[in-house]
Amino acid sequence: MQNVAEIEASPEVQDLRSRVSSFLDELIYPNEKVLDQGGDEARRTLKSIQAKAKERGLWALGLPKEIGGGGLPFMPYVFVNEIVGRSEHAIAGLGTHSAQDATMLHLYASPEQKKRFLAPLVNGDIYPSFSMTEPEVSGADPTGLRTRAVQDGDEWVINGHKWFTSGANVAAFSTVMCVTEPDAPTYDRFSMIIVPTDTPGYEIVRAVPVMGDTRGGHCEIRYNNVRVPLTNLLGSRGQAFKIAQKRLGPGRIYHCMRWLGQAQRAFELMVTRAINRQSFGGPLSDKQTIQNWIADSAAEIQAARLLTLNAAAKVDAGDEARVEISLIKFWGAKVLHDVIDRAIQVHGALGVSEDTPLAKMYRHARFARIYDGPDEVHRMVVSRRIVREFKKGGKWDFGRGLVSKPAN
């Protein structure tokens, strides 16, 4: 098996990273302010950017060619995501916004579902949304979800209350995680059902305002006797947790690689500012505290990067890498926050203005400790699995991860 360093050093990956980086320089960074504002001009600008991504062979690189993607294998795509992560607008601009939902549909959708939802999704004609979290129960424990779907003839009737259904206000459909098998064992009670957002009874209560974004894209939804055909079931009944894991596992790798891109951009802004900003008779870069921040940030980013690539390599080899993914989820989020925080401090008042991307990056970095599982849950997963293995006579090997005790 080709090792991670060889994959990164390959001419194909280096060329793609260079081309994606140039794409951001030319088309994403100069348009960030327009895209931030939303509205008609932002939509036109984004469509123009997406068209250029398709022309240059950079569209949806990580999705299989048979569904309209670029066919890039998992590990090379991991390295591309590091560049994409430098700007949130590159995600939609390059067609990577659909990666998790498109992967889920590719693996579990029926031929009819793929024709109706997957093909236009990958092409960028429609947007998806994933409807799982509920305001009444902890998002960290989805076994408590209350939204129900009951079979009535050849239809599902769905009732429930969701929120943080991200992008629902622009999405063509929501994939809803709901109870369909109430008497089954806990992890077999839930199913995934595709609900077009124009279905009667699908009510967007509001777009939830979040830090620094009063428009919001994280929607509160009520399902009021929403009726969809039984054929809108995604996969098999009672398989929602299995499907969700296929969506979330690789997705956390992508998140963490994009965080690294964000952290690296903040790091570059910090170092440049430290060199150019004069204070107390010389550049900030001559001050010991600033030097410490630069050194600490370089070390933390590199450590997080190696952790993430190790987890990605395990996933690529077929390992679920539960411990490794949880490690990078809480550690990567911390590194992202800390590096951006230092960059803001070096910029001073400029850092909290909207004249640089740092203020927005800082707000979004705070979310990283919550979505896809809060830090506390991921720490718990790491500790429990390591302790459990030790109790069975195994160990944690810092080269290989969890190592079980050999069977007698």
What are the residue boundaries of the structural domains of the chain, listed by start? 4-109, 128-234, 242-398
Tens digit of each residue's pLDDT (9 = 90 or more) over 326-345: 999 999 999 999 999 999 99
* Phi, psi dihedral angles at 236 (to 5 degrees): -100, 160
Range 128-234: architecture per CATH: Beta Barrel (2.40)
The C-alpha atoms of residue 285 and residue 87 are separated, in whole angstroms, by 26
Listed residue (158, 178, 128) closest to 222, CA to CA: 158
User: With contact defined as beta carbons under 8 Å apart, do 142 and 245 qualify?
Assistant: no
- Domains 4-109 and 242-398 fall in the same CATH topology: no
Tens digit of each residue's pLDDT (9 = 90 or more) over 172-182: 999 999 999 99
Q: Which fold has domain 242-398?
A: Butyryl-CoA Dehydrogenase, subunit A; domain 3 (1.20.140)
The C-alpha atoms of residue 278 and residue 347 are separated, in whole angstroms, by 11
Spelled out in words, what is the top-level CATH class assigned to the domain 4-109?
mainly alpha
The pTM of this model reads 0.90
Q: What is the pLDDT of residue 1?
A: 46
Tokens of 103: 């992967």
pLDDT band of residue 211 (cuts 50, 70, 90) is confident
The C-alpha atoms of residue 215 and residue 213 are separated, in whole angstroms, by 5
**Distance between start and end Cα atoms, the chain:** 30
CA dihedral 212, 214, 215, 218 (to 10 degrees): 80
Average model confidence (pLDDT) for the chain?
Answer: 93
User: With contact defined as beta carbons under 8 Å apart, do 193 and 175 qualify?
Assistant: yes
